[in-house]
Structure 1
């Protein structure tokens, strides 16, 4: 198994607090004077190590199996169990973002990303009281949690190879360039909107992890600005999913205009994000 840095409970608690705030909308937050983009490969490694430890500390297999079993039997979860499911899923999502960001392929491993996807579909299903979908996704989740698959997921995560700093910077710039082109579009489908939100969510996770490891005002402000966008987009996406579930919208085909409060924030972000300037720390790696 790969030897990784380990962090004390206080750091994991700070990571949890940051993740809990990653969709909280602060109406007065603004971008920092200079958007921080520098990240060395050593910082990337520390970020990934923290994200893996954070996941393993809270994504307990027995707890998730119990939640899936409850959903199989009842189709829903009581309030305290919903919160537990949300917290476990948040840890999975945070690690998925990290694997995409820092890993050389910039893609989460197959079994891991399949588990995250099934957890998301299952949450949508029980939130929208879709009993048949709950049954199907709960069964899939139980299958992904059997011991051989669980062990394979652990091996997948440990086998991820880090990109270098230059590759990481190039990946982020490509994401922001794509986001900028999408914002310039007149209308979006639910599917495209979800793709936009994933770019924002990945960036929130990066700045949340960085500010947990190395508190910095500029990084903190970037985290909070992105969190506001993430929260607004998340609420709208929940509405789109609910409308699609009720048959009122085709998630993949029907266009809708991007709300002005989201558009203004995205335009400010993409206008300010440095897409071409040379980053010395990346070039030196």
Structure 2
């Protein structure tokens, strides 16, 4: 169905926005004691999916000042590196964009995102990888590209794309979840090998799922939802550490990210299997 309410109202409280941001910051923290709840996932209504979408937008709109973001990108690009404080500031900006992209995928009828949102979020990720891995020339070049993308008028155009979404029906959402769970289940079979690219795609599924649960539990608090996010955060964190290592090896010329394959470590595979079979 088409958008029938404002993405701006009702407004989230400051406490809700702060709680969601903290959830996002915690979404890759590893807790070896975390256990997957029985039947962990929510039976969403269309209105609840729309509520989650609205909250994701308000987190982005309230937390990113475009002038400050452009100045930060310029500073990093000129230095060809980021100070620890700048790296944290940029991470927080990108986290809000990523969360909005997850919300579009989870909550839209087509389970995808506007190209304007995807392209700038991906460029932010490439820029962040460059300055984190000491790639000075690449940092400067990607900073120039990102500054151009974030030029005046960008945020208004992005808002229009976000507001024009068609929200997912429950039938479409269920098909989407089943398909993503099937991808996870197939990847955890012992005979399957993955490339770095395929591994990254699997991690995105986990990231999308924890993003949705993290948003929902701000609006509808529950100890079970808290436990589910704790469990998914452990999987996300383990996969994130592994992916950082893969990216570093690619930068150093030690890995062909798209062709070299490997088995999914059991510490990750066993947790994913428990999740998809719960």
TM-score tier (shorter):
over 0.9
Q: Distance in 2 between matches of 1:35 and 1:166?
A: 19
Cα offset for 1:128? 0.8
Alignment of 1:192-211 (within 5 A): 192-211=198-217
Q: Distance in 2 between matches of 1:210 and 1:71?
A: 35
Are the aligned partners of 2:250 and 2:256 in contact in 1 as well (CA < 8 Å)?
A: yes
Q: Which residue of 2 aligns with 1:132?
A: 137
Establish whether residue 220 from structure 1 lines up as the match of residue 226 from structure 2.
yes
Cα offset for 1:143? 1.1
Alignment of 1:82-231 (within 5 A): 82-184=87-189, 185-231=191-237
Are the aligned partners of 1:59 and 1:92 in contact in 2 as well (CA < 8 Å)?
A: no
Instruction: State the superposition RMSD in angstroms.
Output: 1.3
Cα offset for 1:258? 1.4
1:194-227, CA deviations, whole angstroms, 9 ceiling, x for partnerless residues? 0000000000001101111111122111111111
Are the aligned partners of 1:118 and 1:137 in contact in 2 as well (CA < 8 Å)?
A: yes
Q: Distance in 1 between matches of 2:60 and 2:195?
A: 32
- SS for the counterpart of 1:35 is coil
1:248 is matched with which residue: 246, 249, 254?
A: 254
| Count of residues in correspondence between the two structures | 272
Q: Distance in 2 between matches of 1:141 and 1:150?
A: 13
Q: Distance in 2 between matches of 1:103 and 1:93?
A: 15
| TM-score in terms of structure 1 length | 0.92
Cα offset for 1:186? 2.8
**Which has the higher mean CA deviation after the structures are superposed, 130-139 or 45-54?**
130-139
Are the aligned partners of 2:27 and 2:236 in contact in 1 as well (CA < 8 Å)?
A: yes
Q: Distance in 1 between matches of 2:134 and 2:257?
A: 18
Q: Distance in 1 between matches of 2:123 and 2:222?
A: 35
Cα offset for 1:105? 1.6
Are the aligned partners of 1:37 and 1:169 in contact in 2 as well (CA < 8 Å)?
A: no
Runs of 4+ with deviation above 4 angstroms: none
Establish whether residue 262 from structure 1 lines up as the match of residue 268 from structure 2.
yes
Cα offset for 1:180? 0.9
- SS for the counterpart of 1:188 is strand
**Structure 1: runs of 5 or more not aligned:** 273-285
1:148-182, CA deviations, whole angstroms, 9 ceiling, x for partnerless residues? 33321121111112111221121111111111112
**Structure 2: runs of 5 or more not aligned:** none
